[in-house]
Amino acid sequence: MFFRRCEREDIPAIRKLLSYFSETQATDNQLWLCVSLFWHHKKYFIVQEDDDVVAVGSLVAESKLHHCPQTCYHIEDVVVDEKQRGRGAGRMLVQGLLDEIKVAGDAYRVKLRCEESKADFYGKFGFLPNGITMQKEIL
């Protein structure tokens, strides 16, 4: 297994993995356009085993004026293929994302949202619960 940046050919597999959260009507070309256009802001990474994409996750860089020039990163879109869970892909993915943040060299904090049942998984990487999340649905 290895961790790498997402490429155009990964899009069909990533679409399948992200259907864990919701299905999209966008075409593969539209999805790749979004990945490419917003790369400076949001980067997708995968874990590959043999020829298969077994996990996906993304990193969002959020600039905050009151922490300028440092950056708050968000880990998002973490999914491991259901059949591949429990084999270390999730650990490789999250560690890979944290390594990317370290290499960027400008982070003061990393945040993520998760279900309570995943808190112990993220706790293994040093994440701690902090406050509550609130949201308002627009669509």
Query: In the complex, which residues of this chain contact ligand COA (CB under 6 A)?
Result: 20, 78-80, 85-91, 114, 117-118, 120-121, 124
Report in angstroms how near the CB of residue 67 gets to ligand COA at its nearest.
24
Report in angstroms how near the CB of residue 104 gets to ligand COA at its nearest.
21
Contact between residue 69 and residue 106 where contact means Cβ atoms under 8 Å apart: yes
**Cβ closest to ligand COA, residue 42 vs residue 87:** 87
Distance CA 33, CA 119 (A): 33
Residue 122's contacts (CB-CB under 8 Å, 6 or more residues apart) are: 94, 112, 114
Report in angstroms how near the CB of residue 2 gets to ligand COA at its nearest.
14
Q: Where are the beta strands (DSSP E) in the chain?
A: 2-5, 42-49, 52-63, 71-80, 107-111
**Cβ closest to ligand COA, residue 49 vs residue 88:** 88
Q: Which residue is nearest to ligand COA (CB)?
A: 90
**Cβ closest to ligand COA, residue 62 vs residue 106:** 62
Report in angstroms how near the CB of residue 17 gets to ligand COA at its nearest.
8
Which of 57, 62, 29 shows the shortest CA–CA distance to 44?
57
